[in-house]
A and B are shown apart, each in its own frame.
Chain A
C-alpha cells in the first residue's frame, strides 16, 4: 500500500504529472475575483470565505478525471486488480494521493489567497480548519466519481455532473464554517456537520468505489 502511495506521489511530481494544476487554477480564480466584482474591500471580505471555498472545490474537480484514467489506459488497473491488494485499499490510497497532491496544497495556499480577498483576520484559522476537514471528502467523493466513469471516452463531463451534487453538502457546511468564523459567530454546528460528512464518505465510499471499479473492469 505504501508502495502504491509513493508511486502515485512520484508520478504526480514528475514531469507530466498533475501536481500544481489545481493550485494554479485556485490562484487564478482568486486573483480574478477582485477584478470582476470591484475593489470594495467590505464586499470582498463578505464574499471571501465563499469564493475561497468555491475556488478550492473547482480546483479539486479539475484533476479528478486523471485520477484513475491513466492507470486504466496503460493497463495497470487490471494488474492492480489481480494483485494481493484489495481494490478498496487501492481506491483509498488513490484518494489519499489525490488529497496530498491537490487538497493539501489548496489548504496551505488558502490563507495567502485570503489576504487578496481581504478575509477578516479571525476567518483565517477557520478557513484552514474547514478546508482541512472538507477537502478529504472531496478527494474521496471524486475517486468514487472517477471509478464510475473510468473507461468511458470523454468521461470528464459526466464525472463533473455526477460529482458536483455530491460536493454540495461539503461546500455548504465548509463555506458556512469559514463565513461564521470570519464574522466571529459560533462555528460548532456547521463544523460538526462538515466533519460528519467527511467521516461518512471516508467510511463508506471506498467500498462503493471498489464495487463499481470491479464492474467497470469487466
Chain B
C-alpha cells in the first residue's frame, strides 16, 4: 500500500502554507515530517487524512487506509481504558484490543477511567488506538509529547512492528525515533525528502 502525493498545495484558514509537495510513502517505511512550528505539518496530516481538501495536487492510496492521531486523543474521561479502546475497535470493525494493551503496557490500567490517567498514560492510550484501527498508514502528529523515555521506546517499537507487517507511518516529530525511512524537511512553501541518516535534531 503506497501513498503517493503529487504537487500538493495545502491551506490553513484560507492561507496557502505548503506548495509543490511531492513524495511517496511505500509500505514498510516511515516518513518523518520535520519543520518549525506553524509551518503546516498538522495541516498536511489533516489534508492527507481527508479532513480538509487540498488547494490542488493529487493524493493517491489514502482512501480508507489512514489512521490519524491528532494532538487530542479523543478519549472519554468517564470510560475505562478498555471501553475506550473497544469502542474504536468496533468503529473500525476490528477484533481484539489485547495486542494494543500489551504494546503500550496498559494491562495494569485496563479498568481505570481515562480521566484518572496521567498525561503520559493518556497519550499511550491514544497511541494504542492506532493499533486497534487495523489501518495500514499511520499519521501521527507529535506522538511523543508528554511521553517518558521508556514510553517513547515502547512507541518506537510499536511503529517498527507496524512497519515490519507492511504498514507505513507519517510522523510529525522533533525527536529521533530510529525508524527505517526518510525525513521530509518542511520549510516555508517547500518540502523535499532526504534520507533519515541526515537527521541532525536527535537529542533523545
Residue of B nearest to A2 (CB): B90
Query: Which single member of A7, A16, A74, A82 contacts B67 (CB below 8 Å)?
Result: A82
Q: Are A217 and B51 in contact (CB under 8 A)?
A: yes
Q: Are B76 and A78 in contact (CB under 8 A)?
A: no
Q: Are A11 and B76 in contact (CB under 8 A)?
A: yes
Query: Which single member of A4, A74, A81 contacts B75 (CB below 8 Å)?
Result: A74
Q: Are B52 and A217 in contact (CB under 8 A)?
A: yes
Does A203 have its Cβ within 8 Å of any Cβ on chain B? no
Q: Are B91 and A74 in contact (CB under 8 A)?
A: no
Collect the chain B residues with CB atoms within 8 Å of residue A74's CB: 72-76
Q: Are B78 and A14 in contact (CB under 8 A)?
A: yes
Residue of B nearest to A17 (CB): B78
Collect the chain B residues with CB atoms within 8 Å of residue A17's CB: 78
Q: Are A84 and B79 in contact (CB under 8 A)?
A: no
Does A3 have its Cβ within 8 Å of any Cβ on chain B? yes
Which of A17, A79, A84, A217 has the most C-beta atoms of chain B within 10 angstroms of its own C-beta?
A79
A142 vs B129: C-alpha distance when bound (angstroms):
30
Residue of A nearest to B75 (CB): A74
A160 CB to nearest chain B CB (Å): 26
Residue of A nearest to B49 (CB): A82
Q: How large is the interface on A (under 10, 10 to 19, 20 to 34, 35 or more residues)?
A: 20 to 34
Q: Are A79 and B78 in contact (CB under 8 A)?
A: no
Does B23 have its Cβ within 8 Å of any Cβ on chain A? no
Size of the B side of the interface (Cβ < 8 Å), in residues, is 30
Question: Which A7-36 residues have C-beta < 8 A from chain B?
Answer: 7, 10-11, 14-17
A75-B91 contact, Cβ under 8 Å, with A10-B83, A17-B78, A82-B49: no
Residue of B nearest to A215 (CB): B52
A218 vs B74: C-alpha distance when bound (angstroms):
17
Does A80 have its Cβ within 8 Å of any Cβ on chain B? yes
Does A83 have its Cβ within 8 Å of any Cβ on chain B? yes
Collect the chain A residues with CB atoms within 8 Å of residue B68's CB: 78-79, 82
Q: Are B73 and A75 in contact (CB under 8 A)?
A: yes
Q: Are A3 and B51 in contact (CB under 8 A)?
A: no
Collect the chain B residues with CB atoms within 8 Å of residue A83's CB: 88, 91-92, 133
Q: Are B87 and A78 in contact (CB under 8 A)?
A: no
Residue of A nearest to B53 (CB): A218
Kindly supply a per-residue 1/0 record for chain B positions 35-63, scoring 1 wherever the CB is within 8 Å of any chain A CB and 0 otherwise.
00000000000100111110000000000
Collect the chain B residues with CB atoms within 8 Å of residue A7's CB: 76, 79, 83, 87
Does B194 have its Cβ within 8 Å of any Cβ on chain A? no
Collect the chain B residues with CB atoms within 8 Å of residue A16's CB: 77-78
* Chain A residues close to B by CB (< 8 Å): 2-4, 7, 10-11, 14-17, 71, 73-85, 217-218
Q: Which 4 pairs of residues, A with B, have the shortest CB-CB distance?
A: A75-B72, A76-B74, A3-B90, A218-B52
* Chain B residues close to A by CB (< 8 Å): 46, 49-53, 64, 66-68, 70-79, 83, 86-88, 90-93, 129, 133
23 contacts between A and B (CB under 8 A): A4-B87, A7-B76, A10-B83, A11-B76, A14-B79, A15-B78, A73-B72, A74-B72, A74-B73, A74-B74, A74-B76, A75-B72, A76-B75, A77-B74, A78-B51, A78-B70, A78-B72, A79-B74, A82-B50, A82-B66, A83-B88, A84-B91, A85-B91
